[in-house]
Amino acid sequence: MKYTLPLFLMSFVILYSCKETENKNTSEKQLPNIVIIYTDDLGFGDISANGAKHINTPNIDLLASSGLRFTNGYASSATCTPSRYALLTGEYPWKNKKAKILPGTAPLLIKKNQMTIPKMLKSKGYHTGIVGKWHLGLGNGNVDWNKKITPSPNEVGFDYSYIMAATQDRVPTVYIKNGNVVNLDSTDPIEVNYEHNYPGQPTGADNPELLSMKWHTGHKNTIVNGIPRIGFMKGGEAAKWNDTEMADHFLNKAQNYVRKHKDKPFFLYYAMQQPHVPRTPHPRFKGKSGLGPRGDVILEADWCIGEFIKTLNTEGVLENTLIVFSSDNGPVLNDGYYDDAVEKLGDHTPWGPFRGGKYSLFEAGTHVPFITSWKGTIQPGVSDALVCQMDLISSLAKLVDSNIKIGDSEQLLSTFLGNSTKGRTDLIIEATTRTALRHKNWVMIPPYEGEAVIESVNIEIGNANTYQLYDLDKDKGQQSNLATTEKDKLQELIKIFEDKRGNDYNNIELIELK
């Protein structure tokens, strides 16, 4: 009798501490780290995991062979800004008329009250970070680059941001950390505009003798590191990035982010700059692919991914990290600089089995590499389910038990984790403001006016004066237009498309690539 009370208390203590450990384990399990590795202009056929024979991407392949490789994974769009908008917000970009390729001076495209992946995860206790390319606008339309830039990624859900504002070929050519230009010297202020040059400054158009890379189309304004860019920039000499060091620089920031935040659930959006132009491989990779700089920077990106995953491993978080790998749009060879991408292509097919490329409504524009990997949780395999990057926000919300709902984003968590083969039935794809419908194995492209091929990039963009209908099961390369033979199917798809898209889909402002 005399031992009863202490025994009772002891069992209570033991029970309680078991409960504590159990809670800790469950909550740790419930909240895995999430990493999105996002490449820029990497084509479906640019990775050996998807069948490339003339380039070797061992680290991406390992991600694929140890995870789930999607054969029907899509970016929402065939260009960068709209795809990134859809990825982060889960909303179709054609619902926001401003979601087009943005200049470096564009205001922030995501509204401060809009839901985003990092915002949703933050509400669940995650630390959230972005390293790399942003291209979703900054500030309110009149940024003073010498002061704190706001709003920035930090106002739409990211606790930490280390970014380039737009693209590697657009000014300002500086890194921005949490809204402040890195290494800014106040005695050499930065000015940026896209309309006129600053007096006395050389440009790509006027000073070919200063160029280390020759422009082909568009890129003829301010010269930075011998490379002519889009837009004009003055000052900020000490803050300018080094193009060939950029991959190492972002990798380093991404690795440090993991090291610093590994003890708490984190979300990292690692938005790599390759293989977008200007392609500036580090000397370690120069000439290594035999395909010219475009191939070399793909090797560089693959290496960075390997190093980044090594860091997750050595920091002990790989088994508690869901990694999503994809690309913002399909491939392009000559995208405005002479850099041997065309000349040295050989037999490599960046577009894989598909037609078109970046800017195109044909498959290669949006049908991109897509891999999910989570060591110990996702069983290796291949999924043919139709999925879009836009679906990640709802699916990740399910993963972390958040109850946010985003209309256009389908909740496909079990598909992303390999526990279901069910994908979307329909997806509206977008390319330079034009839209088309993927429905099951079918694709319907409505008629659009304008050139069929953008000559400067030599890509068929999908315009025709008739409806186009393709059966991807039989015709991945979209060679056989079935619109006149499969009339019922065509009508069925037009109806689905117009129900979702509205019938004013042709009332659009077409983008010109000059």
Q: Residues interacting with ligand NG6, by CB under 6 A?
A: 40-41, 79-80, 101, 135, 167, 169, 217-219, 230, 276-277, 329, 335-336, 513-514
When the beta carbons of 328 and 460 are compared against Ca ion, the nearer one is 328
Choose among Ca ion, ligand NG6, none what residue 391 binds, the Cβ cut-off being 5 to 8 Å by kind.
none
Which listed residue (32, 38, 39, 41) binds Ca ion by CB under 5 A? 41
Q: Distance between CA atoms of 382 and 73, rounded to whole angstroms?
A: 11
Among 39, 50, 59, 329, binds Ca ion (CB under 5 A): 329
User: Judged by CB under 5 A, how many residues of this single chain contact Ca ion?
Assistant: 5
- Spatial distance between the Cα atoms of 302 and 274, rounded to a whole number of angstroms: 10
Q: Which is nearer to ligand NG6, 164 or 239 (CB)?
A: 164
Residue 373 binds which entry of ligand NG6, Ca ion, none, with Cβ cut-offs from 5 to 8 Å by kind? Answer: none
Residue 175: what residue type? Y
Cβ(76)–Cβ(93) below 8 Å: yes
Residue 210 CB, nearest distance to Ca ion (Å)? 27
Residue 301 Cβ, how far from Ca ion at the closest point, in Å?
13
Helix (H, G, I), strand (E, B) or coil at 195: coil
Strands 160-164 and 180-181, bridge-based pairing: unpaired
Min dist CB 514 to ligand NG6, Å, is: 6
Q: How far is the CB of 488 from ligand NG6 (least distance, A)?
A: 37
| Alpha carbon distance 163, 175 (integer Å) | 6
Please, are residues 504 and 497 in contact by the beta-carbon 8 Å criterion?
A: no
Stretch that binds Ca ion, among 38-46, 377-385, 405-413, 421-429 (CB under 5 A): 38-46
CB atoms inside a 10 Å sphere around CB 238: 13
Task: Work out how close the CB of 130 gets to ligand NG6 at its nearest, in angstroms, rounded to a whole number.
Answer: 16
CA distances to 109, 161, 265, 266, 433 from 153, rounded to whole Å, are 10, 6, 19, 16, 24
Peptide bond into 275 cis (omega under 30): yes
Mention every residue, 6+ apart, whose C-beta is less than 8 A from residue 437: 426, 427, 428, 429, 443, 444, 493, 496, 497, 500, 501
- In the block, residue with structure tokens 């399909």: 330
* Residue whose Cβ sits closest to ligand NG6: 218
Nearest to 477, CA basis, from 363, 348, 354, 349: 354
**Residue closer to Ca ion (CB basis): 320 or 326:** 326
Binding mask 46-85 for Ca ion (x = CB under 5 A): ----------------------------------x-----
Asked if 335 is part of the footprint of Ca ion (rule: CB under 5 A), the reply reads no
Would you tell me which residues interact with Ca ion (CB under 5 A)? 40-41, 80, 328-329
